[in-house]
Amino acid sequence: MIKIVFLDRGTIGPSVTINRPSFAHQWVEHDASAPEQVAERLAGATIAVTNKAPIREDILDGLPDLKMISIAATGYDVVDVAACVVRGIVVSNVRGYAVNTVPEHTFSLILALRRSILGYKQDVIDGEWEKSGQFCFFTHSIRDLAGSTLGIFGEGALGQSVAALGKAFGMRTRFAAHKGVEGLGPLYTPFDEVLETADVITLHAPLTPATRNMIAMPEFRRMRRRPLIINTARGGLVHEGDLVTALEEGLISGIGFDVLTAEPPVSDNPLLKVLHRPDVIVTPHVAWSSEEAMQTLWDQVIEHIDNFHNGTPSNALG
């Protein structure tokens, strides 16, 4: 019987209906799997399901029965796709499930920071409204989105959805050309120009060798309008140490991050030192995880497994 192993069930919310493939199979699931546990847990498995548990080349030769990996995410950096292709292992990811949830989370961060929601909430908790003697008070800046410029790094489905929301708020939207790349056409604004003119910069690019630390201190020093920096894409796109320095030097006006270079964060992550600030919001990689999006994601995972079993692999990588 076909053995299917789900390596990290705990990465999918408890509200999701974990439906299973339509064909006869043995189902094994683990709440989480450390890297050193993956090989043992996949022994004898024909199909693996993973979200963040890594499946690297060094273990594949010890898994002769493995024929398919269904990734419960769009990003596939946890799987050595090239090594799988060489061994005839089909790898499929999910796509398009987050076109509402990630853009909505992105704008939740933008709105909360642009309108100083955290700062005013804390002031009310601290009794500042009662002390003010006025119907309102002005301890934090509030800025409209209408008429401001939204710089978007990443022009895929998520970047396009964010642009649509930005336009609905009356923002000027600019898709940044890829760093160091010219000739991408009139739909793109030069990378440096976006840095210099954006009031809000939001990241929706994959993490690759070309995009790792694509925003660091040289880029921060080009930001003339002290923009908000929003990252709901991948940790590692922004140099986190330089990000905090830029905030402390007044080069940017706020940070809204849902992703970090290491997750969960390590104790020396510089962002942990500024979490108390009203112009900093860090959420625990949940932009993707509306109940609707997670259910759509899981339905795709099972669809890919069924399609593979029927001889018609879908969303195959490599």
Which of the residues are catalytic?
A: 234, 263, 285
Q: How far is CA 143 from CA 104, 200, 309, in A?
A: 19, 11, 54
Gap between the Cα atoms of 143 and 34, Å rounded:
44
Alpha helices by DSSP H, the chain: 38-41, 57-60, 81-86, 101-114, 117-125, 128-132, 157-168, 191-197, 217-220, 240-248, 291-309
Q: Which residue has the tokens 């006869």?
A: 24
Return the axis-axis angle of helices 101-114 and 117-125, rounded to nearest 10°.
60
Local structure of residue 55 (DSSP, 8 states):
B
Pick left, alpha or beta for residue 198 (phi over 0 → left; psi -120 to 50 → alpha; otherwise beta): beta
Strands across the sheet containing 68-71: 25-29, 2-6, 47-50, 68-71, 90-92
- On whether the CB atoms of residues 191 and 218 are closer than 8 A, the answer is no
First to last CA, the chain: 27
Nearest CA to 259 out of 285, 230, 239, 279 is that of 285
Specify whether the CB–CB gap between 262 and 234 falls below 8 A: no
Say which residue the tokens 């969960």 belong to: 264
